[in-house]
Structure 1
Amino acid sequence: MARTRDLTIDRDWHMAGLCGTGSHTLVGDDVWIPDSHRLDLPRIAVATSNIATAVTLFAPLWGAARGALDIVVDVLAKRTSPNPAHPTLADSPGARRNLAVAAHKIDTAERRMLGIAAAVDATQPGEVLAAEERARLRMDLIAAVRECRSAMEDLLDLHGSTGLDSSNPLQRYWRDFAVGSRHVQFTSHVVEEDYGVLLLSIDEAPSGML
């Protein structure tokens, strides 16, 4: 079995976000790996539905949006409002309204995410959902991604530029979401094209993402 001391790290993960995912490459020379510790990636890919993979990838991104919301809620009660009529941002009706809208987007994304997970969980072993249903679930997931992305921007606007200071966890949530939500599983134009093809019964096979 490979031991950490037998490996070297190729630090080739140079991304603006998701810096803590441990995605650097581990390199081993002349290291024996027993068959029981090898992943059969083609078999796993066939056994796991794309929608299940996608909703699993989205869950921590939703968590980043929720974390950003928690930070801004805490800040609003302390931050002085640029409008002298309001002592703090929490006293500003406009700021409260913007916070409510951002929170609702994140809540809506959560309901979509849990609905997709429930639909996947309800399938029986070996059962494959109809293409139209998979496309609808994919569209729901893309909507959830957009809702969280929009909410993140709203929250940064509320917090102000100090939210982008490298010591502020808000910017880390923002960067992680920006990178993670560009994963191939969330390619919106492919998902939307698939759904359109199925809605119109066009004689064209949907993409492999379904």
Structure 2
Amino acid sequence: MNVMTSIPPTEAEIVSRARDLIPVLRARAESCEKARMVPKETIEDFQRAGFFRILQPRRWGGYEMTPNTLNKVLMELGRGCPSSAWIVMVLGVHPFEVGLLDERCGEELWGQDNSTLISSSYAPFGTVTRADGGYVLNGEWMTSSGCDHAAGGAFLGGRVVENGESVFRSFWVKREDFSIIDDWHVVGLQGTGSKRLVVKEAFVPDYRNHVIAAYGAETHGHLNNLYKMPFFYMFYAAVSSVIVGMARGMADLYVEHMMPRQNINQAIGAAVQDPFIKNRLGDATAKISAAAARILTNTDEAWSYAARGELVPLEVRIRTFATNQFTGGECFEAAHMLFKKTSTRGVWLSSPIQRQMRDILVGANHITQNQDNIGDLLGGQMLGNKLAPGNPFGVRI
């Protein structure tokens, strides 16, 4: 159905919708994991709430809201079901990417149904060959989260040699041009259904792809203010935000677990009076809160330029992009601090605590949370080092 929106919700309204869904998501989390796919009814709940429209262009029925609106929604949804929240993160960022492309893409995708979704697999596993008027893609692309719900196809990453240089492009491949292989058997975030896509001789015209790291007046100057934000920043910040939500959910479960608990090996009877139990919660909450504040502050800083119709300066792009990537490690540390104090009760498969811990483990392993390499990049830039070839900031060396 092609639903044109009238007045978009306020940020407070749509964040409240996310918060209201937390109990529903928690109730479905176990079945979501067992099915290894987010339930259809959950996707329908997300559609009704408008989560996938937050970054969608207005001309195609979207809300075109501020970047932190999606981040705040993800920080709530992750508390209920990390896998379901992950799908909002992935499928909710792609409307932003469509906003960067030729307008023909938006018309093809949303002309008949502006609720159509797109998945992705950006790692360049397959091959890309230049052809007359476009490119031909072949091969297999792994871990396409939410692909079962993405009737619009997928963005696939690929490297193309242009003028002797390897260029990283993102290609929109229609759903009829690939098959899905169910190989998503993993330790955490099982419910994301991040399956393998197999592509055979798929032609992608020139207007349905872009240089994923491109950023400058030529590529972004003509776009609406929201789409003047760098794509890599938007995607990486969204991943960091959903991990914050997962860690907040771990703290929620810890409180619920400890409130009725009695210590049997210490003189203190009630667990809530144990100084170590209280200390772990306080320390973990401080880590999680700091990570959330950094993401929101970084995004507000970058958005302050785009909101005025300006491009985000390179120094700001590097610092904000890099520091957000420490979120996964910090939230995993916070979650593990709490998990350790749940003792044996936390390890049963019937306990939501162990599922939340496993989901955070996998989320923190995402490439967008690679704090080792990114710390080197940030420190090097601060010390005057030149950016290396293949940098994610659209800067040619």
TM-score normalised per structure 1: 0.81
Q: 1:41 to 1:28 in 2, by over 3 A?
A: closer
Contact 2:180 2:196 in 1 (8 A): yes
Q: Count residues with an aligned counterpart.
A: 204
CA distance in 2, matches of 1:41, 1:17: 32
Deviation for aligned residue 1:139: 3.9
Structure number with the bigger relative contact order (C-alpha 8 A, sep ≥ 6) is 1
- Identify the residue that residue 382 of structure 2 maps to in structure 1: 199
Aligned with 1:69 (options 244, 247, 251):
251
Secondary structure, in 3 states, of the residue corresponding to 1:166?
coil
Question: Does 2:187 match 1:16?
Answer: yes
Question: Does 2:313 match 1:129?
Answer: yes
- Identify the residue that residue 241 of structure 2 maps to in structure 1: 59
Deviation for aligned residue 1:14: 2.2
CA distance in 2, matches of 1:40, 1:172: 38
CA distance in 2, matches of 1:102, 1:139: 22
CA distance in 2, matches of 1:9, 1:199: 44
Structure richer in strand, relative to its length: 2
- Identify the residue that residue 147 of structure 2 maps to in structure 1: none
Secondary structure, in 3 states, of the residue corresponding to 1:123?
helix
Aligned with 2:326 (options 135, 140, 143):
143
Deviation for aligned residue 1:46: 3.7
CA distance in 2, matches of 1:128, 1:143: 21
Q: Deviations over 1:157-207 (max 9, x none)?
A: 121232122221112221111112121122112211111221221245375
For the aligned residue pairs, the C-alpha RMSD in angstroms reads 3.2
Deviation for aligned residue 1:60: 1.3
- Output the amino acid matched with 1:208: N
Deviation for aligned residue 1:152: 0.6
Deviation for aligned residue 1:144: 2.7
- Identify the residue that residue 284 of structure 2 maps to in structure 1: 102
Contact 1:191 1:209 in 2 (8 A): no
1:5-44 equivalence runs, <5 A: 9-25=180-196, 40-42=208-210
CA distance in 2, matches of 1:93, 1:203: 49
CA distance in 1, matches of 2:330, 2:232: 21
Contact 2:299 2:320 in 1 (8 A): no
Aligned with 2:337 (options 148, 154, 161):
154
Contact 1:197 1:206 in 2 (8 A): no
Structure 2 unaligned residues grouped into runs of 5+: 1-108, 110-150, 153-175, 216-229
- Identify the residue that residue 167 of structure 1 maps to in structure 2: 350
Contact 2:179 2:199 in 1 (8 A): yes
Structure 1 unaligned residues grouped into runs of 5+: none
Q: Which moved more, 1:65-74 or 1:164-173?
A: 164-173
Q: Which moved more, 1:157-166 or 1:41-50?
A: 41-50
Q: 1:204 to 1:84 in 2, by over 3 A?
A: closer
Deviation for aligned residue 1:69: 0.4
- Identify the residue that residue 231 of structure 2 maps to in structure 1: 49
Contact 1:185 1:209 in 2 (8 A): no
Secondary structure, in 3 states, of the residue corresponding to 1:42?
strand
Deviation for aligned residue 1:141: 1.3
Secondary structure, in 3 states, of the residue corresponding to 2:261?
coil
